[in-house]
A and B are shown apart, each in its own frame.
Chain A
Amino acid sequence: MKKKGIRFRSDSGSIRESSSRILKDIDSYGIGEKTGFEIKLCVEEAVRNAIIHGNKSDPKKNVLVSYWVDGGILNIEIEDEGAGFDHESVKDPTKEENLLRNSGRGVYLIKKLMDRVHYNEKGNKISMGKRIK
């Protein structure tokens, strides 16, 4: 599948819209329910972070979602217009002392459910890959 890029506004409706568009476009690859669930979750967590933490919910700022399939791998890039964040500063939510905290689980789930995760140096773009074929 060739690369597609869609610009979304920084509003909560974009979260579901972005995952629905990707899942619809990869439907022909016949991915299973579990893989679909994991892709949906990771895309929605990343777009939510881009809107809330990246763009600070500024309606004038957009989130660019790009995706393509190459060699059986679904590649997804999500870029916001914010100042960037240090993903390494996110505390491990699975440590005993952090279990009751309300942050860090989205980033952690992406790391665990995707096969490849990379952030650019600025910290405003996440690239993820998952084998679907």
Chain B
Amino acid sequence: MAVRIESKKDLTVCHIDGEIDINSSPAVKKSFDKLISQKTPKIVINLSKVTYVDSSGLATLVEILKNMKSYGGRMRLASMSPKIKSLFEITKLEKLFEILADEESAVSNF
């Protein structure tokens, strides 16, 4: 698992590559801790290279969202594979997150 962070104008795009599961979730959370401590206002997480997410991974994304909301930050998820999107639909997390089809639409008007 790897996280690449890219700043684009007034927002930050994070590309996660690999699996977000019980083993990699602490590292994913750590990658976002700095952005959260800096009160980064807008983050787009590009999930196009994420091949697997388990309940620990979903909990980690919820945790990041909760931390961002605590200072008024906003997060968008983009480019999920249909398999991973189905997990957000089943668990109703789609109600909690702003989920966009691709990075371009997530970045525009954000």
Interface residues on A, range: 20 to 34
A12 vs B63: C-alpha distance when bound (angstroms): 22
A112 vs B22: C-alpha distance when bound (angstroms): 20
- How many residue pairs between the two chains, A and B, have CB atoms under 8 Å in the bound complex? 52
- CB pair B22–A102 under 8 Å, yes or no, is no
A16 vs B87: C-alpha distance when bound (angstroms): 19
Interface members, chain A 75-105 (any B CB < 8 Å): 93-94, 96, 99-100, 102-103, 105
Q: Using Cβ atoms and an 8 Å threshold, which residues of chain B touch A94?
A: 91-92
Please name 17 further chain A to chain B contacts, defined as beta carbons within 8 Å, in addition to the given A16-B23, A94-B92, A105-B55, sorted by A numbering: A12-B22, A15-B22, A37-B52, A44-B22, A93-B92, A94-B91, A99-B92, A99-B95, A99-B96, A100-B66, A100-B96, A102-B59, A105-B59, A106-B54, A106-B55, A108-B90, A109-B91
Which residues in B have some Cβ–Cβ distance to A below 8 Å?
21-23, 52, 54-56, 58-59, 62-63, 66, 83, 87, 90-93, 95-96
